[in-house]
């Protein structure tokens, strides 16, 4: 069980998200905190795997809460709960290690997606290699180097949609790169998984960022989860 803490200044929002999290088995016990102090007390008692943090947290505020959480040595994945206009706070939070953001009206399916992408540490294996093995391990294709256009052994990508929030269509490759990012893969690792060069992956990533309106990987993954581009 992973364990999640929902730290939000609104009791209504906090209790609703805690209730939704209880319906996601992989998240484990869900607890609520109204302030940075309550969050830190819970983190000291039992380090959570996931923290959903209010970008308008009263008192010490979200950035100070995140700083204190990191000072404790907590390894929790932090996802901000944010609304339009919170870009400055989000930028600062991401600089301190937050993975991205969700809207405060996040539902159970979105929480399940966060658990799958942010907490699993899943590595997309090549055919013949065990899950979690380095790219190419146990794969006959591993010694042949990157080959443009080949996808043997890649776990199937099943996007919920292929249209970015601004209406632009994403290509199959862009969706595969976004999925790799959501699994914590570096550009080099994504290239190895897709049999592409790292420079080619970077090109797809730049196009992807423009299409979804993201400044970096963390924001692209958050937008992908929020809009159903990945799950």
What is the CATH classification number for the domain harbouring 182?
Answer: 1.10.10.10
Q: What is the mean pLDDT of residues 159-177?
A: 75
What is the DSSP code (8-state) at residue 170?
P
Q: Give pTM, 2 decimals.
A: 0.56
Let me know whether 30 and 110 are in one domain. Answer: yes
Structure-token pair, residue 113? 């997606």
Whether 77 is covered by a domain: the verdict is: yes
Let me know whether 44 and 101 are in one domain. Answer: yes
Let me know whether 106 and 148 are in one domain. Answer: no
Is 70 exceeded by the pLDDT of residue 160?
Answer: no
Q: Is 192 left (phi over 0), alpha (psi -120 to 50) or beta?
A: alpha
Residue 88 lies in domain: 4-119
Let me know whether 64 and 158 are in one domain. Answer: no
Let me know whether 106 and 13 are in one domain. Answer: yes
Band (231; pLDDT cuts 50, 70, 90) = low
What is the CATH classification number for the domain harbouring 60?
Answer: 3.40.50.2300
Cα–Cα distance measured from residue 72 to residue 215, given in angstroms and rounded to the nearest whole number: 29
- pLDDT score at 209: 92
Whether 62 is covered by a domain: the verdict is: yes
Is 90 exceeded by the pLDDT of residue 149?
Answer: no
- What digits encode the pLDDT tens for the residues 4-30? 999 999 999 999 999 999 988 888 899
Let me know whether 108 and 174 are in one domain. Answer: no
Is 90 exceeded by the pLDDT of residue 162?
Answer: no
Neighbour tally for 221: CB within 10 Å:
25
Structure-token pair, residue 190? 């994504």
- What's the number of domains the chain is made of? 2
- What digits encode the pLDDT tens for the residues 31-85? 999 999 999 999 998 889 899 999 999 999 999 999 999 888 878 889 889 887 8
Whether 130 is covered by a domain: the verdict is: no
Last residue of a domain, which of 119, 152, 183? 119
Classify 53 as helix, strand or coil.
Answer: strand
Whether 58 is covered by a domain: the verdict is: yes
Asked whether 198 and 191 are in contact (CB, 8 A), the reply is: yes
Whole-number average pLDDT of the chain? 77
Whether 191 is covered by a domain: the verdict is: yes
Classify 190 as helix, strand or coil.
Answer: helix
Beta strands in 58-207 (DSSP E): 77-81, 100-102
- The CA distances from residue 15 to 66, 111, 139, 149, 154, in Å, are 21, 14, 47, 47, 39
Cα–Cα distance measured from residue 226 to residue 231, given in angstroms and rounded to the nearest whole number: 9
Let me know whether 28 and 101 are in one domain. Answer: yes
- Dihedral sign of CA atoms 155, 160, 165, 167 in order: positive
Classify 38 as helix, strand or coil.
Answer: helix
């Amino acid at each position: 069980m992973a364990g999640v803490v929902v730290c939000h200044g609104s009791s209504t929002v906090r209790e609703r998200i805690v209730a939704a999290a209880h319906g996601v088995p992989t998240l484990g016990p869900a607890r609520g905190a109204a302030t940075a102090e309550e969050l830190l007390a819970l983190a000291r008692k039992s380090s959570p795997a996931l923290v959903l943090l209010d970008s308008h947290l009263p008192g010490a505020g979200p950035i100070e809460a995140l700083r204190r959480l990191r000072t404790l040595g907590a390894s929790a994945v932090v996802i901000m709960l944010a609304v339009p206009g919170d870009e400055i706070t989000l930028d600062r939070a991401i600089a301190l290690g937050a993975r991205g953001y969700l809207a405060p009206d996040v539902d159970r399916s979105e929480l399940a997606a966060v658990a799958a992408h942010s907490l699993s540490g899943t590595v997309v294996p090549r055919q013949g290699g065990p899950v979690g093995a380095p790219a190419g391990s146990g794969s006959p294709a591993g010694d042949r180097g990157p080959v443009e256009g080949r996808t043997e052994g890649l776990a199937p990508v099943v996007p919920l949609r292929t249209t970015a929030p601004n209406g632009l269509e994403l290509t199959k490759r862009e969706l595969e790169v976004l999925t790799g990012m959501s699994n914590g893969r570096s550009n080099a690792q994504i290239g190895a998984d897709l049999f592409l060069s790292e420079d080619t992956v970077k090109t797809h990533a730049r196009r992807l960022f423009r299409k979804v309106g993201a400044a970096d990987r963390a924001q692209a993954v958050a937008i992908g989860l929020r809009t159903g581009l990945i799950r």
